[in-house]
Amino acid sequence: MKTRIVKRPQLSVGERIYFATVVKGLLLTIKHFFGVCRDLFDWKNKKTAITMQYPEERWDFKDNFRGAPALVMDQFGREKCVACQMCEFVCPPKAITIWPAEFATKDNNVEKFPDRFEIDMLRCIYCGFCEEACPEEAIFLVKEAELVHTDKKDFIHDKGKLYEMGGIREDRILKWQHK
Amino acid sequence: MTYVLGKLLHIVIVAGAVLPGVGAVMVWAERRVSAFMQDRLGPNRVGPAGLLQPVADLLKFIFKEDVIPGHVNKTLYVLAPVMSLVPALVAFCVVPYARGMAIADVNVGILLVFAISSIAVYGISIGGWASNNKYSLLGGVRASAQMISYELALGLSVVPVFLIVGDLNMEAIVRWQKENGWLVFWLFPAWVIFLISSYAETNRLPFDLPEAETELVAGYHTEYSSMKFALFFLAEYIHMTTASALSVALFFGGYELPFVTLPQGVWGTVLSGLIFFAKMSFFLFLFIWVRWTLPRFRYDQLMKLGWKILLPASLAIIVLTAGGVALRETLK
């Protein structure tokens, strides 16, 4: 086989004297220094700095982000959950517990509602199965990802907390109207 | 008696408040500037712009357990941080940081600085030795070799200043520069050598071989914790302050401005002090700037630079300057 002579790059004279390259390096770092200095005055349009100031600034999650599960109401302020307990059965870590109750009257075309609805966030694994299983589109994984409490009891989200997190979501089908 | 009390007060203010204060601000500046240079923000939560961060650091140092490992030489181990801090504080005494405000306006001036700052190497090498740890010892040995090597170039690079000015007194050097312009314009190469050697003397990057985290864990202060470690840290920053102050006083006109005559009296003194601190801050910034730009030298490169380049270069500058001064005298 023919011998191939690899050409090693040699340092030029300027590089060997070293001072010019030192100055070049210093200019580079000071450029970044002043870049961040400038960004401090115009933080919204920052160009050089990459740090996010966490408690004040938060991530902008995508819509399919799987955060904490929450219950939603439709645009009429009606509870969408009909206490079918599908989510409770599909939940792999058994984080969801539902106590169903019956409506006394059938006026609103819905038979059941959850009397109590609890999700234990210490058990939840954010898998999203509940959202997939729900036939009423009543439970969603919202963009809430920072759950910090000093008491373990606070990690059990009750119905009020779940609706507070979920809020109102447009219902395209409105099953109860067609019965 | 009043003289002695006045001097004592002066010493207490400078060594007890001003220099540690500068050191504290430097700790903050080091972290913020390094962060800025790496597109980060650094500590900005404690106080306005993070300025109280050094206070928080100090509190942490004070409340940490003061560990003295069982395998160390206890006497030397306790002594080493003190031995590295005290020379750093003492060396500042001859620096005229404002008009007529040097603690000791002695006529040996700069020689005293070099004599004292050479002692600082004992703090580091004794710290390395007393720790009874291979990394610390290596750090200590490196520190002594490095400091001895660069001490020569440092001392020789300043000789041209004395050749031109004809006086060792720092105030006289500043006065000469007021009349004849900053010495850096006359002796730029000598200043470069002075700067490089002072970086080596203060164990700062690119010459931080005694510490060399990537090779020696933390070098000479591997075994140190809490306030003893803080003393080493403070000593480094005060050394930097002294080196910057010398650079300003010897090469950059000290507390005077060119073309502007400062008023006499108290206001003149205050103004001159502010000018000196402004100039000094630039050099302190330069220390940080260089640290976060240049990588560490290899040990053989360090020795080669010290002995083969800086030493002959400074000797050559001395010879040239001496020739120039002799020529000037003959032509007079």
Write the ipTM: 0.80
- Do A94 and A141 fall within a single domain? yes
Between A and B, how many CB-CB pairs are < 8 A? Answer: 39
Structural domain for B310, as ranges:
69-331
Contact (CB<8Å) A35/B40: no
* pLDDT (0 to 100) of residue B108: 79
- Do A102 and A147 fall within a single domain? yes
SS (H, E, C) B188-248: HHHHHHHHHHHHHHCCCCCCCCCCCHHHHCCHHHCCCCHHHHHHHHHHHHHHHHHHHHHHH
Q: How far is A29 from chain B (nearest CA, A)?
A: 5
Contact (CB<8Å) A49/B289: no
The pLDDT > 70 percentage for chain A reads: 99
B61 domain-assigned: no
3-class secondary structure, B65: coil
Mutate which: A23, A36, A41, vs B, most B CBs within 10 A? A36
* pLDDT (0 to 100) of residue B175: 82
A61 domain-assigned: no
What pTM was computed for the model?
A: 0.80
A3 domain-assigned: no
- Do A96 and A158 fall within a single domain? yes
Q: How far is B203 from chain A (nearest CA, A)?
A: 18
pLDDT band at A99 (very low <50, low <70, confident <90, very high): very high
* pLDDT (0 to 100) of residue A127: 92
Give the span between the Cα atoms of A60 and A128, in whole angstroms.
20
CB-CB contact of A167 with A110 (8 Å): no
B52 domain-assigned: no
* pLDDT (0 to 100) of residue B12: 85
The total of other beta-carbon atoms located within 10 Å of residue B25's CB is 15
pLDDT tens per residue across all 332 residues of chain B: 788 888 888 888 888 888 888 888 888 999 899 989 998 888 888 888 888 888 888 888 888 888 888 888 888 888 888 888 888 888 888 888 877 777 777 777 778 888 887 788 888 888 888 888 888 888 888 888 888 888 888 888 888 888 888 888 888 888 888 888 788 888 888 899 999 888 888 888 788 877 777 777 777 888 888 888 888 888 888 888 888 988 888 888 878 787 777 777 788 788 888 888 889 999 999 989 998 888 888 888 888 888 888 899 999 999 998 898 888 888 87
Give the span between the Cα atoms of B27 and A121, in whole angstroms.
43
Nearest by CB to A49, from B41, B292, B294: name it. B41
Structural domain for A22, as ranges:
10-51
B122 domain-assigned: yes
* pLDDT (0 to 100) of residue A100: 92
Question: Can the peptide bond before residue B81 be classed as cis, meaning omega within 30 degrees of 0?
Answer: no
A122 domain-assigned: yes
CB-CB contact of B215 with B131 (8 Å): no
- Do A138 and A86 fall within a single domain? yes
A64 domain-assigned: no
Main-chain dihedrals φ then ψ at residue B81, nearest 5 degrees: -60, -40
Residues of A at the B interface, defined by Cβ within 8 angstroms: 22, 25-26, 28-30, 32-33, 35-37, 48-51, 53
Q: What is the mean pLDDT of residues A158-171?
A: 88
Query: How many domains does chain B fold into?
Result: 1
**Closest-CA residue to A97 (of A112, A114, A81, A111):** A114
Q: How far is A92 from chain B (nearest CA, A)?
A: 41
- Do A75 and A162 fall within a single domain? yes
Instruction: Say if B309 is an interface residue toward chain A (CB within 8 Å).
Output: no
* pLDDT (0 to 100) of residue A130: 92
Contact (CB<8Å) A29/B40: no
Contact (CB<8Å) A51/B293: no
A179 domain-assigned: no
Contacts with A32 from chain B: Cβ below 8 Å: 36-39
- Do A107 and A153 fall within a single domain? yes
Contacts with A53 from chain B: Cβ below 8 Å: 41
B277 domain-assigned: yes
pLDDT tens figures, B73-113: 888 888 888 888 888 888 888 888 877 777 777 777 778 88
Element at A71 (helix H, strand E):
strand A69-71
3-class secondary structure, A76: coil
Nearest by CB to A33, from B33, B290, B294: name it. B33
A19 domain-assigned: yes
Instruction: Say if B33 is an interface residue toward chain A (CB within 8 Å).
Output: yes
B305 domain-assigned: yes
- Do A106 and A150 fall within a single domain? yes
Shortest CA distance from B37: residue in chain A: A33
Q: What is the mean pLDDT of residues A80-92?
A: 91
Shortest CA distance from A24: residue in chain B: B293
CATH of the domain at A76: 3.30.70.3270
Nearest by CB to B37, from A32, A50, A51: name it. A32
- Do A45 and A88 fall within a single domain? no
pLDDT tens figures, A107-128: 777 888 899 999 999 999 999 9
Q: What is the mean pLDDT of chain A?
A: 87
The DSSP-derived string for A92-154 is TT--EEEEEEE-SS-TTS--EEEEEEEEETTT-----HHHHH-TTS-EEE-S------SSGGG
A136 domain-assigned: yes
Contacts with A29 from chain B: Cβ below 8 Å: 37, 289, 292-293
The total of other beta-carbon atoms located within 10 Å of residue B40's CB is 15
A1 domain-assigned: no
B3 domain-assigned: no
* pLDDT (0 to 100) of residue B116: 84
* pLDDT (0 to 100) of residue A92: 93
Shortest CA distance from B35: residue in chain A: A33
- Do A102 and A159 fall within a single domain? yes
- Do A96 and A161 fall within a single domain? yes
* pLDDT (0 to 100) of residue B225: 81
Instruction: Say if B329 is an interface residue toward chain A (CB within 8 Å).
Output: no
Instruction: Say if B36 is an interface residue toward chain A (CB within 8 Å).
Output: yes
Shortest CA distance from A46: residue in chain B: B39
User: Which carries the bigger pLDDT value, residue B95 or residue A94?
Assistant: A94
Contact (CB<8Å) B289/A30: yes
Contacts with A22 from chain B: Cβ below 8 Å: 293-294
B231 domain-assigned: yes
CB-CB contact of B82 with B231 (8 Å): yes
- Do A115 and A150 fall within a single domain? yes
- Do A157 and A73 fall within a single domain? yes
Contact (CB<8Å) A48/B39: yes
B64 domain-assigned: no
